[in-house]
């Protein structure tokens, strides 16, 4: 395998649609109030992709160094685990990706706020630094929060609240109380993807003391938690469309919940963790579909 293909594999392209769902949703909400900028939109997308790729490199490195990625691993083999990339190469990749992402953050902040609002510029740049730290600390270091059942919290915060509300603010430079609802929807669905990943790896993670929420809750509580995430996301989405007096066509994004409701049934029936792997892709793509439909119906 060529080095380019190795790095592309380590970047885990299948995770990228989920990562930009919050940006697409925030942009759609901003468009609904007549405030949208192509420059901010594409810079926000690029920045978010940088954060996600950085996180994927860091997860590969952190889990590899801790020995979490071993022969008991159920999911796809990682680059470090497979010997395709060394720890030194991954660390260099993380540094380069972090530097490029922070450059994108700077361009995004300047495009959104210019040089006239230094306070907001500093606030959002520091938020970018916090996102870089969060991406790395998920599995890297002794205090990795992904090993302390806090991964779901950070995914909800950064994919949901920061992703949707942050991008909305970049466009509008204000927040309304309704924007919290789509942020909750994307945050819960993103946490559901992580939860499926952790349910799939629960037994292997428990062996190496990686205490994800799936390990802590155990079966069947983690299945109840998964149901709460998806149903909570649906209720938040439904209430948003109702509260904003949406037209019938603007309720179309709720179609994305059909495969999500089917996913709940599959999770409850599941007895073989490995069989949950295809469900990750379904939930991630359903979340992306929701965001795309949200954006699309705004254009009508």
Q: Output the pLDDT for position 65.
A: 86
Nearest residue to 264 via CA among 221, 289, 227, 225: 227
Lowest mean pLDDT across 71-75, 120-124, 200-204 = 71-75
The count of other CB atoms within 10 Å of the CB of residue 278 is: 11
pLDDT of 98 > 90? The answer is yes
pLDDT of 177 > 90? The answer is no
What are the pLDDT digits (tens) for 186-222? 999 999 999 999 999 999 889 888 999 999 999 999 9
Across 47-85, b (16+ Cβ under 10 Å) vs e yields bbbbbbbbbbbbbbbbbbbbebbeeebbeeebbbbbebb
For the chain, the farthest-separated pair of C-alpha atoms sits apart, in whole angstroms, at 57
Arithmetic mean of pLDDT over the chain: 93
pLDDT of 68 > 80? The answer is no
What are the pLDDT digits (tens) for 280-293? 999 999 999 999 99
What mean pLDDT comes out for the span 67-89?
Answer: 76
pLDDT of 121 > 80? The answer is yes
The Cα angle at residue 69 between residues 63 and 71, in degrees rounded to 5: 170
- Confidence band for 127, pLDDT divided at 50, 70 and 90: very high
What the block records as the tokens of 99 is 């530097």
Q: Output the pLDDT for position 66.
A: 78
pLDDT of 70 > 70? The answer is no
Q: Where are the domains of the chain?
A: 20-299
What are the pLDDT digits (tens) for 5-50? 999 989 999 899 999 999 999 999 999 999 999 999 999 999 999 9
Nearest residue to 136 via CA among 78, 62, 245, 233: 62
Lowest mean pLDDT across 60-64, 184-188, 242-246 = 60-64
The share of the chain scoring above pLDDT 90, in percent, equals: 80
With a threshold of 0.85, does the pTM exceed it? yes
pLDDT of 79 > 90? The answer is no
* 242 CA to centre of own chain: 26
Cα 19 from Cα 176, distance rounded (Å)? 23
The winner for highest mean pLDDT among 74-88, 138-152, 209-223 is: 209-223
């Amino acid at each position: 395998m060529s080095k380019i293909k190795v790095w592309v594999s380590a970047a885990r392209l299948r995770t990228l649609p989920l990562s930009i769902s919050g940006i697409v949703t925030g942009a759609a909400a901003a468009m609904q109030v007549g405030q949208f900028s192509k420059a901010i939109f594409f810079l926000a997308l690029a920045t978010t992709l940088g954060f996600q790729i950085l996180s994927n490199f860091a997860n590969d490195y952190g889990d590899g160094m801790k020995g979490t990625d071993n022969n008991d691993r159920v999911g796809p083999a990682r680059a470090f685990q497979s010997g395709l990339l060394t720890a030194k190469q991954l660390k260099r990749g993380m540094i380069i990706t972090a530097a490029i992402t922070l450059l994108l953050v700077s361009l995004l902040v300047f495009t959104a706020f210019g040089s006239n609002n230094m306070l907001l510029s500093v606030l959002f740049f520091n938020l970018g630094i916090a996102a870089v730290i969060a991406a790395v600390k998920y599995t890297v270091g002794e205090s990795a929060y992904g090993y302390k059942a806090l991964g779901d919290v950070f995914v909800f915060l950064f994919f949901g609240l920061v992703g949707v509300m942050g991008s909305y603010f970049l466009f509008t430079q204000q927040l309304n109380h309704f924007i919290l609802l789509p942020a909750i929807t994307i945050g819960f669905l993103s946490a559901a993807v992580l939860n499926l990943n952790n349910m799939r790896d629960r037994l292997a993670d428990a062996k190496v003391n990686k205490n994800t929420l799936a390990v802590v809750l155990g079966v069947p509580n983690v299945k109840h938690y998964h149901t709460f995430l998806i149903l909570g996301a649906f209720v938040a989405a439904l209430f948003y469309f109702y509260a904003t007096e949406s037209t019938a066509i603007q309720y179309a994004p709720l179609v994305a919940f059909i495969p999500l409701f089917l996913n709940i049934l599959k999770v409850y029936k599941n007895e073989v963790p490995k069989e949950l792997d295809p469900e990750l892709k379904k939930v991630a793509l359903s979340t992306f579909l929701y965001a795309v439909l949200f954006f699309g119906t705004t254009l009508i």
